[in-house]
Amino acid sequence: MTMKARLASLLSASALWGVAPAMALPPLDDFEIELRGEAQGWLNSTCTYYDIGWLSEEQARQALQRLMVLIKGDYLGEDLARQAKKIALERSPDCRAIWPESGE
């Protein structure tokens, strides 16, 4: 039996029994995963630096506002920006006091 005949019989059998041929799943988008980690890291470090006094309240507020604009617009979008904010605030609850309203 030739290769074409084997392939045809396999596809016919799977169609006959209602089973779709196995399709490869799309790979995880490594670039998006990297961006998520980078964005989360910047938010976490900004809150940490504020908590230990390396950034003033105004510096931290401006940094968070700029980061959220970048994350929403260029990196990840609204939903993932909200998720990153939630994670950052769970990690550093004191950062809630300086989180800019426009960065919601």
- Contacts of 89-92 with C-beta under 8 Å, sequence gap 24+, read 89/47, 91/44, 91/47, 92/44, 92/47, 92/48, 92/50, 92/51
pTM over 0.75: no
Mean pLDDT along residues 13-40: 63
pLDDT in tens, 31-49: 677 777 888 899 999 999 9
Give me the chain's average pLDDT, please.
Answer: 78
Identify the DSSP state of 18. Answer: T
What's residue 86's pLDDT?
A: 92
> From CA 56, how far away is CA 4, in angstroms rounded?
70
Domain positions in the chain: 28-103
Which region among 13-27, 44-58, 66-80 has the lowest average model confidence (pLDDT)? 13-27
Least Cα distance to 39 among 67, 6, 79 occurs for 67
H/E element, 47: helix 30-51
